Amino acid sequence: MCVTAVLPPKTPADLGIETVSQDSTRALVQATGPLDHRGAGRLCSELEQHLAARRRFVRLDVRNLRVVDHEALALLGRTHERFLAERGTLVLTGVTDSFLEQVRSAGLASELFCVELSTLDIPTPN
């Protein structure tokens, strides 16, 4: 397991981004905090760096992410399309009911690959 980047939040109200693990073709990225347009730009940049490094199969753990605006989700949707264009996948894991509702409200439910938190076999923090 190799951590490539940790982009801590600048303030408690900012988005935290961490690449938890990676290999030559895959990566696991965790995002925490509020996802607004500015934070989505930082997050998508981190995801696209993995794509540029030929890591085409990326999981984004969103269990501790809170959507603030739909434009942020639209940016994630465009990044998802870039992964598909490169024959890769961007899978959102740890999707909570409230996050999924935001994805549906943004009209992206049929586009983004989401794995709901309740289907994962991992412990959740209290």
pLDDT digit string, tens, across residues 27-70? 999 999 999 999 999 999 999 999 999 999 999 999 999 998 88
Whole-structure pTM value:
0.83
Please give the tally of structural domains in the chain. 1
Q: Within a domain: residue 2?
A: no
- Neighbouring C-alpha atoms within 13 Å toward the C-beta of 24: 0
In a domain, 1, yes or no: no
Sequence-distant (≥ 6) Cβ neighbours of residue 99 within 8 angstroms = 62, 65, 66, 67, 92
Asked, for residue 97, whether it belongs to a domain, the answer is yes
CATH, residue 46: 3.30.750.24
| Identity of the amino acid at 109 | A
User: Which structural domain, as residue segments, surrounds residue 23?
Assistant: 10-119
Q: What pLDDT is stored for residue 68 in this prediction?
A: 87
Exposure of 34 by Cβ count < 10 A (0-12 exposed, 13-18 middle, 19+ buried)?
middle
Mean pLDDT of the chain: 87
